[in-house]
Structure 1
Amino acid sequence: MSADSNRPKLLIFDVNETLLDLGKLQQAVNQEFKSETAFKQWFSLLLQYSLVDTVTGNYHNFGQIGDAALDMLAQALGQPARPASRKKELLALIAELPPHPDVIPGLTALQQAGFRMVTLTNSPDATMRKQLAYAGLTGFFEQLISIDSLKCYKPHPTTYLSTCQQLQAAPAETMLVAAHGWDTAGAQLAGLQAAFITRPGQQTYPLAPTPTLTGSTLPAIARQLIG
């Protein structure tokens, strides 16, 4: 970013798909349901019904919605519902995911450049802490924040603004870093800046503001931020 641009003082990181590689979970869900598109269908249901819960005020945590979405997926594919124990095994994989290869180099560069960094995820607090510990990322972040305490999912404006308030950072001086167009749209419409990482299969939302920064990897974003 140029010297006269509004360089953010706080970076908020999404976790699933942005920092963590969901490939292991994707493979397991696809194999379980014998479909190459099962994981995408399941993850879309997970996001869709988290928004339904937010709009209707009928909160369940991400794990509960993930479990329900596995039932919905089975029904959509004309398959029997999986036993609770099998669903639990599948969902447990979300806490055992590696970081994308570019993540530690990118976080290291940003940490060395002096940026404040926190996470903000739709995953429950306990799950997020297991995820980041397993991936070896915990030490990069000042705080690990989940929407669970708000009982309101991203991209609701409250999720971003309450994080800024908690960290005593102005929204305009805060940047969300994410690999989801719905997430960057939510942050920008709440008054934050946003950096979009173009992970394979991810797109920005054409009817939302263009992300402040775009890059194919986290180091690419870091280079633009550090200048």
Structure 2
Amino acid sequence: MPASPRPQLLLFDVNETLLDLSKLHQAVNQEFDSKFAFKQWFALLLQYSLVDTTTANYHDFGQLGDAALDMLAQALGQEARPAARKKELLRLITELPPHPDVVPGLTALREAGFRLVTLTNSPPATLQKQMQYAGLTNYFEQLRTIDSLKRYKPHPDTYLTTCRALGVAPADTMLVAAHGWDTAGAQLAGLQAAFVARPGQQTYPLAPTPTLTGPTLEDIARQLG
């Protein structure tokens, strides 16, 4: 492990980091008849979460996901989907399995004495359903989201407010995420970060190098010891 203090608290991103989005990925691609539709939709979702953060015009992630489906249809020259169909697609985000390495990784980290807490852009009701469906609820001390703050990650307040609420200094806290924008945000706010290098994910070259990098959560757990 690099020469950083052993973190007391681990904050976990949820979507893609813990949960496998393949089912949603396939459904969106099939709906819009494009192998790039999901990536385009997810990019719009993240882009407009930042628009809402910078303009102080908050909508929850479900509302943004719905709007992003409309924008995706428009970008692809297709008709907007009916509200019921969009709701059906978006419901899939609450029915996702964990990646195979997640349960062994969380088990190892919990047994090593780390405090485990989620920090996600999803709203609380969605997060509760996600974790219950995936069978991960009991691994975590708290299931936290950005909803009460009404600023999306990677705004520094999302990380710092969580650290204060849990009574742990940023330097003694590590974000675990599969997104380079998320690890960048955490580190620039003074936290440590572990990047889980899921297929297709990259770190941000203009941000600090993550404290730890590994292909799976099990590997991150081994590095943390």
So what's the TM-score if we normalise by structure 1? 0.98
Aligned to 1:222: 221
2:199 is the alignment partner of 1:200: yes
Shift of 1:5: 3.8
Aligned to 1:70: 69
Aligned to 1:125: 124
User: Equivalences for 1:69-148 in 2 at 5 Å?
Assistant: 69-148=68-147
Alpha-carbon distance in 2 for matches of 1:147, 1:126: 12
Alpha-carbon distance in 2 for matches of 1:43, 1:5: 33
Question: After TM superposition, what 4+ stretches of structure 1 lie above 4 angstroms from structure 2?
Answer: none
Alpha-carbon distance in 2 for matches of 1:76, 1:201: 23
Aligned to 2:176: 177
Which amino acid counterpart does residue 63 of structure 2 have in structure 1? Q
Secondary structure class of the residue paired with 1:12: strand
Change (3 A) 1:5 1:207: closer
Shift of 1:217: 0.2
Secondary structure class of the residue paired with 1:148: coil
Secondary structure class of the residue paired with 2:92: helix
Shift of 1:90: 0.1
Secondary structure class of the residue paired with 1:176: strand
Alpha-carbon distance in 1 for matches of 2:143, 2:160: 16
How many pairs were matched up?
A: 225
> 5+ residue gaps in structure 1?
none
Alpha-carbon distance in 1 for matches of 2:164, 2:95: 31
Alpha-carbon distance in 2 for matches of 1:112, 1:59: 38
Which amino acid counterpart does residue 68 of structure 1 have in structure 2? A
Alpha-carbon distance in 2 for matches of 1:31, 1:107: 33
2:160 is the alignment partner of 1:161: yes
Alpha-carbon distance in 2 for matches of 1:41, 1:201: 14
Aligned to 1:49: 48
Aligned to 1:213: 212
Shift of 1:48: 0.2
Aligned to 1:22: 21
Secondary structure class of the residue paired with 1:114: coil
Alpha-carbon distance in 2 for matches of 1:115, 1:31: 40
Secondary structure class of the residue paired with 2:50: helix
Shift of 1:34: 0.3
Aligned to 1:40: 39
Secondary structure class of the residue paired with 1:28: helix
Shift of 1:29: 0.2
Alpha-carbon distance in 2 for matches of 1:161, 1:128: 20
Alpha-carbon distance in 2 for matches of 1:191, 1:6: 13
Alpha-carbon distance in 2 for matches of 1:22, 1:29: 11
Identity of aligned residues (%): 80
Shift of 1:95: 0.2
Alpha-carbon distance in 1 for matches of 2:123, 2:4: 35
